[in-house]
Amino acid sequence: MEFAEYVVLQRPALMRFATVLTGQPWLADDVVSDVLGRAYERWDRISRLAEPHAYVRRMVVNDYLSWRRRLTRTIPRADVEPHLTGMGDGAQERAERDAMIQRLAGLPRKQRTAVVLRYYAGLPDAEIAEQLGCRESTVRSQIARALAALRITMTNPPLVEMR
């Protein structure tokens, strides 16, 4: 498969995956663009793999977890208005998805990555452990802690300030 074909077929899936992983569409676009740029440079080797999409998805995970990118992305550059999420045309599904993405954003990076790889990408513990560079028991532990934290935030919703 040529690189251009791969991008046309898989970029939307990579963007959805990265958006769930990062919690920010602009950050997901940045991560996916950087990863696809690096993948293009090595496409001869990547395209010969049994599952090139899995390899590129791992590149997205690695880029997201990279301390260098995290540092440059977390330093505020300007005063920005907080993003206000609403009901978007009254669609209950969208509101629930936005709320879950906000809850996921409150998790530590490794826990969030493990949860996204398990429940969004549908990967088993062995593949998640391989992508995160840890043992399967660590993956199960990370997911259990993340789910416990998500349960706490769901049972104790934040107080809404009355104006």
SS3 content of the chain, % helix, strand, coil (to 5): 70, 0, 30
The residue out of 44, 75, 106 marking a domain boundary is 75
- Share above pLDDT 90 across residues of the chain, in percent, rounded to a whole number: 52
Tell me, yes or no, whether 120 lies in a domain.
yes
Three-state SS for 157?
A: coil
- Last residue in a domain, options 17, 42, 75: 75
Distance of CA 65 to the CA centre of its chain: 10
**What is the residue range of 44's domain?**
1-75
pLDDT at 137 over 70: yes
Distance CA 14, CA 143 (A): 22
Give domain status of residue 4, yes or no.
yes
CATH value at residue 104: 1.10.10.10
> What is the DSSP secondary structure assignment for residue 89, as one 8-state letter?
T
- Report whether pLDDT(138) > 80: yes
The predicted-structure confidence for 104-118, as pLDDT tens digits, reads as follows 888 999 999 999 999
Does residue 41 lie within any of the structural domains?
Answer: yes
Confidence (pTM): 0.59
Residues 10-21 have a mean pLDDT of 93
Q: Quote the number of domains for the chain.
A: 2
Q: Which two tokens stand for residue 92?
A: 């209950």
- Same-domain check for residues 104 and 62: no
Residue pair 59/10 in contact by the 8 Å Cβ criterion: no
65 and 1 housed in the same domain: yes
What is the spatial distance between Cα 26 and Cα 74, in angstroms, rounded to a whole number?
13
